[in-house]
Amino acid sequence: GAGVSQSPRYKVAKRGRDVALRCDSISGHVTLYWYRQTLGQGSEVLTYSQSDAQRDKSGRPSGRFSAERPERSVSTLKIQRTEQGDSAVYLCASNLLNRDNQPQHFGDGTRLSIL
């Protein structure tokens, strides 16, 4: 069946520009996470949301990271005023419910390079 898909697979942007990354999660999944993955820091949670409610846990004090969920199975991660340190792989993952102890299903990720 269809899994979690992310687009684009690769994104190059100039520093200072805003970028948007898309995630199509699995139909019926309620909880959706965005992670940033770098070599030194492993996987860091950026935001997560349950159903239509947005629980933003930005790892960046400037709050440049936000996620929108226009449909239950679609999420867009927006990064404003990108910095070179934002270069990383951004992973999206979803699961049925956070409290039902079900594993997360990951997308292939978007590799973002900020020039």
Binding site for another protein (CB under 8 A): 33, 35, 41-45, 48, 55, 57, 91, 93, 98-99, 101, 103-104, 106-109
Contacts of 2 (CB under 8 A, 6+ apart): 26, 27
Select 27 or 41, whichever has its Cβ closest to another protein: 41
Shortest distance, position 114 Cβ to another protein, whole Å: 20
Q: What are the counts of helices (DSSP H) followed by strands (DSSP E) for the chain?
A: 0, 11
Contacts of 31 (CB under 8 A, 6+ apart): 48, 49, 50, 94, 95, 96, 97, 98
Shortest distance, position 41 Cβ to another protein, whole Å: 7
Select 18 or 113, whichever has its Cβ closest to another protein: 113
